[in-house]
Amino acid sequence: MNKSLIGAIIIIVFLAIGFFSFMDSKIEYVNFADARDIHKKVEVKGQWVKDKESNFDSGTNTFTFWMKDDYNNEMKVILDGGKPNNFEVADAIVVKGKVKDGTFMASEVLTKCPSKYEATGEEIKNSGY
Amino acid sequence: MVGKILIYLSFAFSILGVVSFFLVHTGKEKYLKPARVFYLLTATFVITTSALLMYMILTHQFQYSYVWQQSNRELGLALLISTFYAGQEGSFMLWTLMTAIIGIFLLRYVSKGDRLEPEVMSVYSLVLGFLTFILILKSPFNYVWDTYAGDVAPGFIPADGRGLNPLLQNFWMSIHPPTLFVGFSAMAVPFCFAIGTLIKNKYDEWISYSLPWLLFAGGVLVLGIMLGGYWAYGVLGWGGYWAWDPVENSSLIPWIIIVAAIHTMIAQKRTGGYKKTNLILCILSYLLVLYSTFLTRSGVLGDSSVHSFVDPGKEVYISLVVFMLTFLAIGIGAVIYRAKELKTFDSGSKNILTRESALFVGAVTLCASALVVFAGTSWPIIASGSIEQDFYNKMNLPIAILISFINGMSLLLKWKTNDEKTFFKSLLFPLIITCVITFALVIVGVQDFIFALFAFAAIFAFFVNAEIAITIFKKNKSGIGAYVAHIGLSLFFLGIIASSRYSQDVNLTLELNKPVEAFGYRLTYLGATEFEDPNNQTDSKYHFNIRVQQDGKELLLKPVMYFSSFSEGVMKNPDIANFFARDLYLSPMGLVEPETFTKDQIHEIPKGKSKDIGALNVEFIDFNFGGILPGGEEVRSGNFTVGAKLKVSDNKFSEVIEPKIEYKNGVPSYFVAKMSDKPNLNFYFAKMNVSNTGNGEAPTASIAIVNTDETPMHIPEESLVINASIKPFINILWAGTAILVIGFFISIYRRRKDL
């Protein structure tokens, strides 16, 4: 009896810690408009705005670019790190980070390029003899 | 066509196998022979199908969509073979193949003695039934004219294939996926034994003969996982060996559960307790394999992983769900069916200070770790969002500490009896050594409390196991498997502490031939050299040579960057200097080409406008194309000269000058223009900006004014930007994993002898 009581307490404590830590670590998917009001880490999905400035600053090791979310809100993004792989060809990009003074400070950028891995009919047309 | 027929045959015979083995179970013994034949036929067809697919790949039969999509004529033999499982269809094929082959050994194994043959093989055949059904839906034998109907005519044979994703083009591609799939496939065996034993209503014998299978599945799976980790670390340049990515997590979760099961099964073997626990863990481990497959293959996690997930289509999604739910139903159904019997089993030892209780607590702790990873990985399908990597680290750190302590202590406890006095006495020696070493580590620099505690726990576990291993080795050499595995795990933990908590990194800009100091090394970028990759002649690959010098010794590191035409992006591979006590890890970030002019020297002026620059007023009158047409043939070919007519005025004079820019194959060279009274001012025409959008914006000219009095003309060399990091004692981590795997295999050997 005593043993199972101790066990139960440990499990409850673990679950409680886990729950709060989980709530603390979860990152919501939002758009840029909402991201301004949330003061914790969020994720925003969208597209790279190709005709605005984008550059890598080797001094601060940051990559700066503009991004448009799925609701057409545009924001400047500063990524802590170099230009991600497949950045140019990505159909969509997901940035993780926080908004600070109107700029999205990203710690991570995921690039989504399913089309590159899925062959297209166009491609096979051009691969004949 | 033949391939498709073979898959249909495999499916048909696997179902016949399910049915006939079940009939044997119900007492119709005469079906045993046919049932075995059905299974062997299923396996034969699966192997033949795989051989056919391999043959098609090796002979470049690009009329098959899968072969066209995944391979090409350029790939060398090893990589060509690995295109077998580079795509969705092929990796299901590999999984099916491994399951079929393992099943042949399983059939031989269970047909000897009374080992639940009909029950186990019936469920196992059902696994193959589902896998072959998915292959029917997602066949690697479709013709391109069916897949791309409308785009190409029937009978069309592409000249070459698309080729293999460059990320997958390396040695690890040949061993990581096959190893992982052997582990994944073997995980079905404990499930089948658990279900079989529930159907049979016998709960003791199965432990002995299923244990070697659990050890095999666990040992191979962890080997596969760590090969993937080494791939990520050494080649892909993800910066580490583990990123808590859903694909990584999804093979880790079942592994943790199977490890928990191994421990409680040993407890049952010794004491007879934990019968329910073992059944549930064995069932759970394969359900989690199926759940993982669903998570990573169905496309549900599309947005939250660095691995690329391709949506496999609705039919595959549904069949994966059905596969998972069927096995969930079988598992739950079997447990409920025997609920009455299961209730009569007591819950193991009453005494906490016994070996079996400790093993049980350890198993619960492992399950807690699996739960953490499970919750984090599943979160994106419950809500829109994801979980920070830090969550996994924060939660698993205390769990790992606890596991190390339990590991060390459990081995000092006795089976069934509670002998506190000897226990505390035996604790003394390892604790003293551990204290001394931890104290030394704290002095050296391990000063965060939690990491010092983690190190303490791992060292404790290490010494307890090492002491026992030495004692046992003298008597029974093969009995040391468990202790070897535990020693491996302790070293692995110590490697994690050193290499992640105490790793340092810095971004460096290495100008050509100019040494830069970092972490006590002198790094010099010596320029890039092109090299041949026999597997990829399409792209020009470059080594970025960096000389590393320390204490008079030197070596050359060659991280790679190249533009991949397959991915339409720059691919980067790190290079690592592996020293005894640390790795120096150089990850290329980019190449900064020299800029001819600095930012503040350049002034952009629209056509017809003027701008005050210092004491001067510069008006950009017009371009001078010298008779050629703007936008004409010469301009497009990249070989032409253009001037910018400028009217430069100070408060006294006004003068028209024309700096020119000459392009040869698109590479510019600049012709200076000067004012007659200011020889120190050099005017360059740096760039012309002609807007093609037709939105009426005036074209502009970028004019560079270089004052030679202030800035001597300095043209910087190209520089390489890298991220350099130090991973202390990462060798301990790799050695730990290798030892862990060896431990598993020693144990399998020993358990086989036990049978």
Give the pLDDT confidence of A83-99 residue by residue, as tens digits.
Answer: 776 677 677 888 888 89
Predicted confidence (pLDDT) per residue in B359-374, tens digit = 999 999 999 999 999 9
CB contact under 8 A, B151 and A87: no
In the numeric block, the tokens 């029917």 are attached to B136
Residue of A nearest to B162 (CA): A119
Distance CA B330, CA B327 (A): 5
Q: Which residues of A touch B569 (CB under 8 A)?
A: 85-89
Q: Which residues of A touch B156 (CB under 8 A)?
A: 128
Chain centroid to CA B276: 35
Does residue B71 have a pLDDT over 90?
A: yes
Does residue B304 have a pLDDT over 60?
A: no
Residue B459 CB partners (closer than 8 Å, separation 6+):
B433, B434, B437, B438, B490, B494
Residue type, B421: K
Predicted confidence (pLDDT) per residue in B391-410, tens digit = 999 999 999 999 999 999 99
Residue of B nearest to A28 (CA): B385
Of B152, B395, B569, the CB nearest to A86: B569
Nearest to A49 by CA among A29, A31, A71, A75: A75
Distance CA B109, CA B102 (A): 10
Of B62, B350, B386, the CB nearest to A43: B386
Positive or negative, the CA dihedral B455, B461, B463, B469 is negative
| SS3 of residue A82 by DSSP | coil
pLDDT value of position B630: 65
Higher pLDDT: B425 or B67? It is: B67
Mutate to test the interface with B, among A22, A41, A70 (most CBs of B within 10 A): A22
Distance CA A90, CA A75 (A): 18
In the numeric block, the tokens 């289509």 are attached to B313
pTM for the full predicted model = 0.86
CB contact under 8 A, A58 and B572: no
Residue type, B179: T
Residue type, B707: N
Angle at B247 between CA B241 and CA B248, to 5 degrees: 35
Distance CA B745, CA B680 (A): 78
Cα separations in angstroms, A44 against A72, A79, B220, B717: 12, 13, 38, 38
* Mean pLDDT (chain B, rounded): 89
Does residue B194 have a pLDDT over 70?
A: yes
Percent of chain B whose pLDDT exceeds 70: 93
Question: To the nearest whole angstrom, how far is the Cα of B372 from the nearest Cα of chain A?
Answer: 7
Which token pair is A122?
Answer: 């166009």
Q: Which residues of A touch B148 (CB under 8 A)?
A: 121, 124
Distance CA A5, CA A2 (A): 5
CB contact under 8 A, A124 and B151: yes
Cα separations in angstroms, B719 against B221, B387, B472, B519, B622: 43, 37, 58, 20, 36
Question: To the nearest whole angstrom, how far is the Cα of B238 from the nearest Cα of chain A?
Answer: 11
Predicted confidence (pLDDT) per residue in B446-494, tens digit = 889 999 999 999 999 999 999 999 998 888 888 899 999 999 999 999 9
Residue B290 CB partners (closer than 8 Å, separation 6+):
B320, B323, B324, B327
Give alpha helix (H) positions in B338-354.
Answer: 339-343
Four-point Cα dihedral B136, B142, B148, B152, nearest 10:
-160
Nearest to B297 by CA among B481, B172, B131: B131
Question: To the nearest whole angstrom, how far is the Cα of B155 from the nearest Cα of chain A?
Answer: 11
Does residue B249 have a pLDDT over 50?
A: yes
Residue B182 CB partners (closer than 8 Å, separation 6+):
B98, B102, B220, B224
Nearest to B544 by CA among B103, B158, B237: B237
Confidence of residue B755 (pLDDT cuts 50, 70, 90): low
Burial A48-58 (b: 16+ CB within 10 A, else e): bbeeeebebeb
pLDDT value of position B616: 86
Of A25, A94, A121, the CB nearest to B390: A25
B507 touches chain A (CB under 8 A): yes
Residue B556 CB partners (closer than 8 Å, separation 6+):
B526, B545, B546, B547, B548
Distance CA B99, CA B280 (A): 22
Cα separations in angstroms, B330 against B6, B126, B196, B326: 28, 11, 11, 6
Residue type, B659: P
| SS3 of residue B523 by DSSP | strand
Of B304, B352, B592, the CB nearest to A58: B592
Q: Which residues of A touch B563 (CB under 8 A)?
A: none
Task: Let me know: does A105 contact A99? Beta carbons within 8 Å.
Answer: yes
Of A59, A89, A117, the CB nearest to B308: A117
Which token pair is B209?
Answer: 């003969």
Distance CA B137, CA B275 (A): 39
In the beta sheet, which residues pair with residue A30? A44
What mean pLDDT do residues B289-316 have?
A: 75
Q: Which residues of A touch B589 (CB under 8 A)?
A: 56, 58, 61, 81-82
Positive or negative, the CA dihedral B182, B188, B190, B193 is negative
Q: Which residues of A touch B368 (CB under 8 A)?
A: 14
| SS3 of residue B427 by DSSP | helix
Chain centroid to CA B390: 18
Interface of B with A in 329-358 (CB under 8 A): 350, 352
Mutate to test the interface with B, among A12, A19, A20, A27 (most CBs of B within 10 A): A27
Residue of B nearest to A22 (CA): B391
pLDDT value of position A116: 43
Angle at A24 between CA A18 and CA A29, to 5 degrees: 120
Angle at B6 between CA B4 and CA B12, to 5 degrees: 105
CB contact under 8 A, B388 and A86: no
B572 touches chain A (CB under 8 A): yes
What mean pLDDT do residues B5-9 have?
A: 97
Residue B726 CB partners (closer than 8 Å, separation 6+):
B503, B504, B505, B519, B582, B583, B584, B585
Distance CA B516, CA B123 (A): 63
Chain centroid to CA B65: 26
Residue B12 CB partners (closer than 8 Å, separation 6+):
none
Lowest mean pLDDT, pick from B32-41, B311-320, B721-730? B311-320
Task: Let me know: does A116 contact B568? Beta carbons within 8 Å.
Answer: yes
Q: Which residues of B touch A63 (CB under 8 A)?
A: none
Distance CA B639, CA B672 (A): 19
Residue B303 CB partners (closer than 8 Å, separation 6+):
A29, A45, A94, A110, A112, B380
Does residue A115 have a pLDDT over 80?
A: no
DSSP B346: -
Of B159, B305, B384, the CB nearest to A127: B159
pLDDT value of position B348: 59
Mutate to test the interface with A, among B570, B572, B720 (most CBs of A within 10 A): B570
Nearest to B281 by CA among B371, B363, B400: B363
Nearest to B699 by CA among B598, B603, B586, B622: B622
| SS3 of residue B350 by DSSP | coil
Distance CA B360, CA B310 (A): 40
H or E segment at B601? none
Distance CA B315, CA B323 (A): 12
Cβ atoms within 10 Å, residue A45: 18
What mean pLDDT do residues B3-7 have?
A: 96
Question: To the nearest whole angstrom, how far is the Cα of A27 from the nearest Cα of chain B?
Answer: 5
Which token pair is A28?
Answer: 């919501």
In the beta sheet, which residues pair with residue B605? B701
Predicted confidence (pLDDT) per residue in B641-686, tens digit = 888 888 888 888 888 899 988 877 666 778 888 888 888 888 888 8
H or E segment at B83? none
Distance CA A109, CA A94 (A): 6
Size of interface A-B (CB pairs under 8 A): 137
DSSP B361: H
Angle between helical axes of B314-337 and B188-200 (0-180°, round to 10): 40
Distance CA A109, CA B607 (A): 40
In the numeric block, the tokens 């009581």 are attached to A5
Task: Let me know: does A89 contact A71? Beta carbons within 8 Å.
Answer: no
End-to-end CA distance of chain A: 79
Q: Which residues of A touch B388 (CB under 8 A)?
A: 25-27, 41
Q: Which residues of B touch A24 (CB under 8 A)?
A: 391
What mean pLDDT do residues B422-440 have?
A: 91
What mean pLDDT do residues A36-43 have?
A: 84
* All domains of chain A in start order, with CATH: 28-112 (2.40.50.140)
Which token pair is A35?
Answer: 């991201």
CB contact under 8 A, A94 and B592: no
